[in-house]
Amino acid sequence: MPIPYWRLSGFYFSHFAFLGAFTPYWSLYLKSLDFSAFQIGILTSVMQGMRIFAPNIWGWLADRTGKRMGIVRITSLFSLAAFAGVFFGKDFFRLFALMMLMSFFWSASLPLLEATTLSHLRGNLGKYGMIRSWGSIGFIFAVVGLGHLLDHFPISSLLWAVLGFMTGILFFARTIPEADNHPHESDTVSVWKILAKGEVIALFASCLMMAAAHGPYYTFYSIYLVDHGYLKGSVGWLWALGVICEIAVFFLMPKIMKRFSLKSILAFSLACAVIRFVMIGYGVNMLMLLVLAQVLHAATFGAHHAAAMAAIHHFFKGRHQARGQTFYTSLAYGIGGTLGALGGGYSWEAFGPQYTFALSSIAALIGLFWLLLKFRLSPG
């Protein structure tokens, strides 16, 4: 079967355009409704919290039915319908319930698409970077365009943009064919036995700490900059700069992986995160320092994500690919992202932004030590 390059790329574009609209600006929308920092932390953590268990439900269902994209199509429709509810209520508990419902269905999309993409590519990670880079382009398109738009239109305009990108996710989900699930000798091994390996635990633990370190960044970075006098258009460009550097890394990853081990790439990425969040916390009034911090996004997300994907593909093969992706989403982005967002919301109110970003650096440092001490790649 030929690789459905443009259909996969279109899905990634729409999915990350949604994130490019939602991640930087949703907190600003919530602030416009006069929610406290802790309430904003709760409402932004719902998406991460739902990723703790929901992807495993969808991954189990995908393993049972073999219909990954069929599940993505259904869940994309229901997540779109749930988000549409935000137009009809602005109180905290209504938004909390809607975010829970939307996130339950939305959390199925990316891990099942990642598994489908790798199955279509048969593990060719060089082509994976080319397809995944369209997601980064979608993020830039949304974050820059909306940044300038929201300087001239009310923040409520964000809701229509998010709805449009979610419609794009549904459209492309309907066009992507199911991928053949190639058998592997590890199919007879219990997925729980793979998950219990020391090196797999170390991988997921370090990824969890990296996601926790990014939690305050994804939740409060835009608020932090706007509160210090930056225009929303400038905020959008700073977000975009990080993703532009991320795209470059995705294209370079095949060469980087030939020269360096996955452990080295992951360790370097965590070390960069330690430095990056200190720079953001204490350099908000120095534009060049913020620019340099955003360049480091190439390592703290781009290189780290690509290396983590390769490591997961190494450990979870054959029919276990979807479960490997859902474990990664649940443990790293689910638990890690929730801890980062909730902890960041509490710390932001209690101690302030600089202390909060310092805690992000400490989280990345813990992940680095864990990786160095416990992670290795076993043969196979």
Are 49 and 99 contacting, i.e. CB atoms less than 8 angstroms apart? Answer: no
C-alpha–C-alpha distance, residues 151 and 171, integer Å: 30
Whether 329 maps to a domain, the answer reads yes
Are 200 and 315 contacting, i.e. CB atoms less than 8 angstroms apart? Answer: yes
Torsion angle defined by CA atoms of residues 344, 350, 353 and 355, in that order, rounded to the nearest 10 degrees? -90
Per-residue pLDDT, 44: 87
DSSP string, 300-345: IIIIHHHHHHHHHHHHS-GGGHHHHHHHHIIIIIIIIHHHHHHHHH
Whether 162 maps to a domain, the answer reads yes
Whether 78 maps to a domain, the answer reads yes
Q: What is the residue-level pLDDT of the chain in tens, covering all 380 positions?
A: 678 889 999 999 999 999 999 988 999 999 999 999 899 989 988 888 888 888 888 888 887 888 889 999 999 999 999 999 999 988 999 999 999 999 999 988 888 898 888 888 875 666 777 888 899 899 999 999 999 999 999 999 999 999 999 999 999 999 999 887 665 555 567 788 888 888 999 999 999 999 999 999 998 999 999 999 999 999 999 999 998 998 888 888 888 988 999 999 999 999 999 999 999 999 999 999 999 999 999 999 999 988 998 898 888 877 777 778 788 888 888 899 889 989 998 999 999 999 999 999 999 999 999 999 988 875 44
233-269: buried (b, 16+ CB within 10 Å) or exposed (e) per residue? bbbbbbbbbbbbbbbebbeebbeebeeeebbebbbbb
Whether 19 maps to a domain, the answer reads yes
Per-residue pLDDT, 116: 87
Per-residue pLDDT, 246: 87
Residue 359 belongs to domain with CATH number = 1.20.1250.20
Q: Measuring CA to CA, how many Å separate 321 from each of 109, 114, 156?
A: 14, 9, 39
DSSP reduced 3-state for 180: coil
Whether 183 maps to a domain, the answer reads no
Number of domains composing the chain = 1
Tokens found for residue 278: 């200190």
Per-residue pLDDT, 380: 45
Are 35 and 89 contacting, i.e. CB atoms less than 8 angstroms apart? Answer: no
Per-residue pLDDT, 108: 84
Closest CA to 41 of 90, 86, 79, 96: 96
Torsion angle defined by CA atoms of residues 103, 43, 298 and 228, in that order, rounded to the nearest 10 degrees? 160
First and final C-alpha spacing in the chain: 26
Per-residue pLDDT, 30: 94
Per-residue pLDDT, 372: 93
Tokens found for residue 152: 């001239």
Whether 248 maps to a domain, the answer reads yes
List the domain range (segments joined by +) for residue 13: 7-178+189-374
Whether 77 maps to a domain, the answer reads yes
Whether 2 maps to a domain, the answer reads no
Are 289 and 281 contacting, i.e. CB atoms less than 8 angstroms apart? Answer: no
Per-residue pLDDT, 126: 63
Per-residue pLDDT, 96: 95
pTM of the entire structure? 0.81
